Structures are given as C-alpha cells and as structure tokens.
Structure 1
C-alpha cells in the first residue's frame, strides 16, 4: 500500500514539474492508487484492531494499547516533522517571517501526531507540504483509536455483525450524517471491522487459491476502471470486496506471501511517511529534475532509482528509529508493571 502511495505522488510530482501545473495527473490509474491505497490501509486498521476487540471480548488493556501505538508511530513521525522544519528553514527568506507566537502554534500543531487536522504550514509556506502532506491520514487513524473504548462495548454483543453492517449501510447511504469524504473514511474502517467479524463467525470462508486471487485482482481492477472518483460508494464497495478476499486468505498468486513482500510490509510505515521528504530532497538537484522530465525512458529509470532509495532509507529508519521506539515502549510498559509489584513487596515487608 505504501509503495502505491509513493508511485501516486511521484508520477503526480513529475507531471506537474513537466507541465507547470498542480493537481492530479491525467492517468486514471496513478490518480487512483494513492487514495485507493489509503482506503485499504484504513480497512486494514479496522480489521486488525476490531479483531483484537472481538478476540478479547472488548477487554483490552487500554493504557498498554495506546502506549504501544504512540511508541510505534511517534518516533518516525517526529523524525519527519523535524526534517520538514529543517527543509522549510533551509529554503525560506526570513524577512517576512511570522510572529514567534504563530511559529510556536504551528510547531505544536505539527508535533501533535495528527491530533490537529491539517496543521498550518510551517512559517506559512504551503509549497513545502509535499514533504509531509501524507501524514494527513494519521488524524483519522487516531480518531479510530480513540473510538475503540466505545466500540469495545459493541464487540461484546453477539449481534456485532448486524450492528457494524447496519452502520456501514447507514454511513454509505446518508451522506447528510457525515459529509464527504469523511463518510467514506468511516466506511473504510467499518469494512475492515465487518470483515473481521464475518471471518470469525464463518471461518469456512477462509482460504487461498487461484480463483480467490483472480477475484481479488479483478475486483480491485474494476474499482480503478469503473470509478470516476477515489471516494465514492462504488469505489468503497469494490475495494471492500477485494479487501475481504485478501483478508480471508487470498495471496494474489503468492505475491502477498512472498518473502520480499513481507519485508516491504515491515518497512511500509517508513516508505509511506518518508517518501515525500526523499523526493523533495532529490529534487533539489537540477540534473535529477532534468532527467525526470526529459524522456519517458529516463523518467522510469529515475522513478525506480528513487523508489530504491526510498526503500533503502526505509529499512535504515525501520531498524534505527521504528524498532528502537517499539523496544523503548516495551521497556516503559515493563517498568510500569514491575513498579507496583516492587511497592507491594516493600509494603509486605
């Protein structure tokens, strides 16, 4: 999914650079795969965390869950934010700098890990948002996490499939309840949740095979071919069906279970978060930009070289930052669990 977002942004950046425009490229495929990948990412999040609630009947150690999420997400996010600040400061003219108070507010907005929706561009320079713009999805991810304690009540109900299914139908048919595109974001999470419930209630639906893989690919292709907008009821339904096939075990002819795919999956958060920074850093070199727009052949060479750089950097940040953050979070939680034990032992003496 993260790789799809990279190609979406890279093709869009190259097209706009070549033609002096802004916005999406004319290619329906490359315009779709970015938002489509984020849609599936929301489905995966709904599937995984709703699945945890179902498996534990809503009885979750909430402090541990939220602590794990912060230590999993924030270290790399902080690295990106600081890099974004440095990138902006490197390029701007300080003669028209905003007030200290404004800069402080902007800094705190960006450091809030998605708590603030659409933070003000640092130093009021929106032209550099390409470095960090992909973090918009973290806001909705956190809204879902904050809703989990309420959803835990539903997870204890035997009729959870009917409840989630009804909510999905309601949010899809009544756009007056939640405005677009936010209703589709909610629908994506609900599709993941519904898939988790159905597959636990009917485990016989799980399995792999050529027919399942073909169906998953065909439905995903139909979502791209038949949908005019990345966020619509038709797109959401088709992507939801494709997701269900994969969630139930379809390996897409072995691609998703390949060692390379699994390793890329491990670093997908780094790929997703850092590709904008890397693309913008490389675009500081005029020769890079010239090759990017010179010929189609050179464009694709530059594309895959850039993707290779993104992947290599992502492996480095995964081990140096992401894994370090995860391990730190575990140590913090272990220390928190051991401290009450020590206090009880001292009182017993």
Structure 2
C-alpha cells in the first residue's frame, strides 16, 4: 500500500492485467466483425473468458475499493458520487455525441425516425442504454456494446447511501 493509504500496487497491477485481457477479448470480437461481418462472442472459450472473467473481477475489485473508501475511511458518499459523475459522464457524453454525429452522417444528416422516437433514443443513451440512433442499428457497436458496465457502476454508487 502507498503511504497515502489510497492505492494498492498489487491491485493496480491486477487491474492492468484485467484491462489488457478485456482489450484482447474486444480485439477478437472486432476482428471477427471486420472480417466476417458479424458481431458475436469469441468462438474460443479462452478469449471469451478473458473478457467475461476480467469484467467480473473488475466489479469485485470495485466493490472492495468502494467498501474500503466509503466505510473504513468514513468518506462523504455524496462528494464521492459527484466526483464519479464528473469522471465518467463527460467522456461518455463525448463518445455518445460522436456516435450520434456519425449516425447522422450515415443518414445524410436527415432525421429518419419520428422526433419522439429520436428523443427517446437520446434519453436511453443518457441512461447507458444504447439503441439504434436515427436508423443506425449498429450505433451501439461503435462503443463495442459495453455501456452496460456503466449501468452496473451506477448501481454501485446508488448502493452507497
């Protein structure tokens, strides 16, 4: 543990290994998508588990770190929650904006769905649910379909109080 009691070097090393494992998992999925035109889980159980098991361990580590930070150090959960929102949401909103912009580019910058449907799609993207955007059914694939993890992370934050 570092002197400031906020980091565990061994956990940081494990998180690096897990991140590389998830990267490899996503690479295999993307490779198949680009070469065969289908978005499917890896055929190899090894590559599939690199992603699934690594994400599972990330959630376990998150639970441990949240418990340590919030319960043992008596941190203010509201300040922590606000800090996490400003850490996650800006980059997510930027990424979602790029996906939406690209989706409009693919549809010649014209609205291909009713405005009510489009507004509902935007709302869903704000809640980390990634449906099609303006008729682009592959919109969620631009973010590798991984926004579901952000919903789980938000669940951790909601559980803090």
Per the TM superposition, whether the score is higher than 0.5 is yes
1:127 corresponds to 2:144? no
Instruction: Name the one with the larger helix percent.
Output: 1
**Partner deviation per Cα, 1:32-60 (whole Å, 9 max, x = no partner):** 1112221111111101101123313xx44
Q: Does 1:137 align with 2:149?
A: yes
Bigger radius of gyration: 1
Instruction: Please state how far the C-alpha of 1:96 moved relative to its aligned partner.
Output: 7.3
1:81 aligns with 96
For 1:62 and 1:20, how far apart are their aligned partners in 2? 45
Q: What is the TM-score when the length of structure 2 is the normalising length?
A: 0.77
Deviations along 1:217-275, whole A, 9 cap, x unmatched? xxxxxxxxxxxxxxxxxxxxxxxxxxxxxxxxxxxxxxxxxxxxxxxxxxxxxxxxxxx
Aligned to 1:62: 77
Q: 1:92 aligns with which of 81, 85, 107?
A: 107
What's the TM-score, normalizing by structure 1? 0.38
Deviation per CA, 1:16-39: give whole Å up to 9, x if none. 333344412322221211122211
Unaligned runs of 5+ in 2: 1-17
How much has 1:94 moved relative to structure 2? 6.3
Q: Is 1:9 aligned with 2:26?
A: yes
Misfit runs of 4+, over 4 Å: 93-96
Distance 2:44 2:111 in 1: 38
| Number of aligned residues | 143
Q: 1:67 to 1:105 in 2, by over 3 A?
A: same
Answer whether contact 1:16 1:25 (CA < 8 A) is retained: no
CA distance in 1, matches of 2:29, 2:136: 20
- Please report how far the alpha carbon of residue 62 of structure 1 lies from its aligned counterpart in structure 2 after TM superposition: 2.6
8 Å CA contact 1:109–1:119 kept in 2: the answer is: yes
User: What SS class does the counterpart of residue 122 from structure 1 fall into?
Assistant: coil
Looking at both structures, which has the greater relative contact order when contacts are Cα pairs under 8 Å and sequence separation is at least 6? 1
Residue deviations 1:136-193 (CA, integer Å, cap 9, x gap): 10101111110111xxxxxxxxxxxxxxxxxxxxxxxxxxxxxxxxxxxxxxxxxxxx
| Structure 1 counterpart of 2:15 | none
Report the counterpart of residue 69 of structure 2 in structure 1. Answer: 52
Distance 2:65 2:81 in 1: 15
Q: Secondary structure at the match of 1:24?
A: coil
Point out where structure 1 has 5 or more consecutive residues left out of the alignment: 150-349
